[in-house]
Structure 1
């Protein structure tokens, strides 16, 4: 008899009495419970009323936690959160009594009864798989897994179907929202999701999708960003012959990931997409498998089945990046150039054979001639010939301020796209480039290097000569050395022909409008000289003013008294001056001034508040001015409130700002605008850093101008984190530019204020690089405060990069300077960082001594947050040394200090809860350890601290494993490993080792 058949046996109804003895209830006395959907209870004679909503929520928590007692404190926390009434515990006791009488009518008022038991300091419902749908679900899932291990796919899918049929919506649906937010209910929904994925893996592995398709579709709508789920759905759709829907599903989640998270699809999702594109879901002989319950199958003849790819094929060794920008919707012409480039592709790229040759196409030409547009168009046309992905980078080769992208930064970006974490990257450019070439060996990847400055900037980004790759390079300069020594195929892009220019106008303006004024169209084409950028600006003007006659636009162009010249190898910016001047002259005076001043900003983009600081205008007013510039096509709004210049427009605006004809801005005006902008970033960064790191030691900002502007209003750590995430790259450029502008004080201050975000997000290489610049700037100024802070920041960055000797050296320099300055807080912060380095190098006793010294200094300064953090650090070091009682006492003192502050629940308080949990675990207080870990994890997630969240998840898994709850342990270890894979791969490997060995590996003490 199959395992599926065994599950249909008659069900007994064993229960546990109040004394722990197993007794058998009469059928009429047995109560059945459901929590996989609305909370329900019933006997043979009908449904039971579980009482008011909060009492129902209490019942739901008992059912969801049926494997353990639930304390009154946990119930209070679920029902009322951080603000319970004084009578909360008494209310819970009333709910206990009321539920007992619902389950056992006639029960005396103070009697315990046999269903709702008092046990282990809490309450537990005496249920099993015969009386609770959750336990029945878990039992069926376990049987399904066992069947799958014996390769009995039919039985496995039958059992999965029975398990999933028990679900009638979200777990505990209908209880109050506050209670429903308890993690235990999200965990149950997660079990359902994981079960559907397991069932899908079984079905897809055996080449069938029908049994799981409806379940996957139903859950995909509720989990729009779950890439593994959508990857399975895409495969299932393709296996059922719905390739178009599979591709549509992929495009939908890809767009959503970009919009919501700003990321590309994961390797798993890309692999699924690749299978659809390469027709790996070709029909094959099916194995009859039943659909999962609720999938809508109507039976009948089996649909054609596809051969299942080998499991190893689904696990690609490297991610498949897809970084190409979107192709231009109204692209017209250039067919001769495209054909020329396509003929250069080797046969291997055309017929799909293994690639053995690298092809380089270097696209040159004047500014604005459409080099990038053509390169992107060609890249999209041939992307399917490069199944291992596409890489793209804008090298910013002609940034007016000389801030072309460093090749090392570009190589690091490509390595990250290929799955290499920051921890795995070599330090030198040569080693990074060598690793990049190694990863692309024997792979077919398309690489688009846009806006290159020269051949030296490009060379580190070229794959090895034997790679089957296509490299497209765009540059305003001729890359002669690449042609001579690198075998690149040059293509100098000419101006648009009149025919192609007319086709472009037709596509943008419509045939009717173009046909109505043929003479005006001819004039526009002639005066734009075939320059696509100029033509685009004028077309945008016509589109934004649909009632304007084209003859009027042509007349204004004629009044410019000049036409555009072809690229001649000189200053390309002058070739579009007339067209830009036409757009510029129609601006209002305020908008024109803002246009000029925006050129002082280093980029890559600018927000509304920073633009307001440059112009010294209120936010509402500057928003209106930015809209005017956007309408004139002089600025692009790439995201709400974020604006970007094209290189040529920036150069033109900067030329205008420095014009000596009285229409520009004086040197003093430009200097004042620059200072206002830097002060805006400095003041906002100070507010943001203080919110993110309450224990941090941030010197008061020293603005350079009287009209400093208003910093962005940030309410809490969440808004601070969001601001830093948006502005991080801008702040890096601003800090670097401030050195060139003779404002080194801003450099080291901004670098110090960026410490929290660099630490939290894992941008440790950028952190170290910026602090080196800050250190040099502060030393040049002779500013001992700046030098001290730069040494301290560089030391902390090096410690996270595991460069411990260098870290300790910088921290000791910082400590010496802070001592000389008499800066108690600076000393305290530095000693705390030294303690962390020492414990990482197994000097725990010395770490405690340094941190105790820091604690004394925090006390002298009256710095509560620093005291709490230092106290917790001491507790952690004591726990690592095995002194758990002392560690627990100090962790509790740390928590007590946090509660004296107004802002509780921050990242450091979370660390104290984690320390407390760790001590409880090693004292075998596992229940308390779990509760403390869950509290820490909730706080860490709220504060965006993924690194420490992964640590707490790992240790929570150890606690689950210690109590025999292997399923829960594995679930949280998987979460931890997923986070650490991109942040700290060595630690991720240790966590994954736990998954392979059922948690018997050594517990992490990171």
Structure 2
């Protein structure tokens, strides 16, 4: 090599055999400290410790940088050699470090051509490693490298013995045996060489000496391997007389899957893991039927050439319908058979069999695939000790201890992407059939949840019934669900059966919680809700959820949420129906009460001045939450309103009519604040149906009133007035002045929205009168606001200002709805704009926007953003008008307010046209 850095002997650098001046011993030590990790970053602290010791003084950093600079100048003329600076570290880049070459040759020798490669590797040594430098690290590193050298020498002797040598090795082994009298590997090599040279008596005498020394020094007899060799020599075993047959190269991989698709991320992860250069274990986990075995076999076949010494495969039956999990000792027996060790020559106990297995595959480049593992106990005895081997484990559990103790790379497997699912169907059915019904194919993919086994079963149904349109298969899946994916006689072809095997390793409590989660309301669940569902403590619930996640039956999502794949949930639902009815009903009662009482507490924070709704105490075992302030309560409702809708549906299914009505009430302020009209429509429609079963006229009034208000917001005026007038009749029949006053104010809003301000003013005035007469300040404040607003809309601005001021004064004295100040500013902003005071109008609208934003009332914030655009235009501030209208448009779209969004879009278009032609 024209350019070389030497560590295996004197530390030096050469160009065409000419030494390069590397400076002082300390400076050369810096180079050695980088070269032993060539290509890798070595931190400044670690470099200083290697060169000066663990107690290196702070000033050594400056000296280190000085040494690095001098080394860079010394190495400048060496092509391909450089010291580079990285964040907080340095790295030596070089392709010709003798230590690196030594290790590469040793690694290559594990596959083939052992004798020439190991001979070449050992010829790189020119004496003791790291000669010419000193220090604590140097001495330790020198000893470690000497062990590598000794291992290579041993490997070379083994290779030569396998090739049939004997006499040629006696002198070398005699000296080595004298240097290492307690090394049983050296002793075994020397015994075999002596025996092959015809010196069997000397071999037996040397064994006697070694045995006596081991007993004297260590108090132990020789190990199994040396004892067995001794017995073979005594018996004149002919297998010792010449080179053994070539090592058996097992090829145990089952056939690769014929229609494997996608999984590029997982395949890349396996590729990355197996390039690490250490003992590599990859653990592929996922639900039953997710495609773990297919991934493992596809990758194994694609990379078989990387393992020239063979591939071992074992199905550990961790989740099997027909047998118990395979015992490690039986699996090892099969592996040893494959490696040429007959059953009659295998040790009888697990540890000795594992030792023999590891010895046989040591330094051999082999792939071991352990499929369908259930626990770490089934895997650990099968792990090799050699870094030349790669292990690929699949299982439904994550094998946490294998990851923790052995550094296994976790490769989680989820459902296919839509493109991958389509490719799988196309591979099974052909592009023409899949392409002929693209919409139906998409539906099949979604009905199968992109679950590989479900897609494979569906493809089988389609392939075996070629005349049946895919649309009919989709209809069967829609109607029958999991039943279509079952199989009466072949459990491996049945998704329910495959999923059922995952329950084998669950406790009874975990099975019950798994079943209950399937019928819990909402798309997912968090720990507090799950604790109420299960009737367990939060700590116990969290532990149970993690166990289900560990078994790939549950997925952890951000923000502490857990969810099931749709097909797993469908399977779990069948288990829930097998639970005793009292267990199932109690769980549903608890989880509904959890959502109801937590929502009720959040609602009280959002609307503390709204009339209090009396609800029954929660069921035993329910643990509702209590938000710590309005922002937290609003955030909880944002996160859980879908669960609350689902809880209402569960309550309706259980004929819990009060809970249906109470959930609608608890969600109403939230929906109003967020402008979620469809949610209001859904909850109050359900509440009205439930209220018909209750002896509670007030609740029926509330349901009609809130449905009317929602229809009004949705510009469905006739429906709005129908519900509101029905509510008013009911309120008058029971002579409830408060409900009557509230309904007149709601009617005022409805008539205002359809621009009939005369009727709106009349209803607002009547509502104000009822509330004032009975001293109900909260209702009177709203009455003043609506009277003022409709007066403003009719052009009576002085009356509008008078009532707005009255609303503010009453609010200041008695408190009330936190939205009042913002609503007053809206009205006064409208008055100011229409009386030509545009600057004042902008100021008032901006105050309102800030207040709305602070309370999270995003729907009203959108309306005010729209309103402030008009005084901006009047002031010629078109850019600001566009900005606020674009914000309003965004909020309208978020709320699903299509009519408002269309109006806003037209106003923006008109603004653009006005500016274009101005």
Normalised-by-shorter TM-score class: 0.3 to 0.5
TM-score between both structures, scaled by the size of structure 2: 0.47
TM-score between both structures, scaled by the size of structure 1: 0.44
Q: Which has the larger radius of gyration?
A: 2
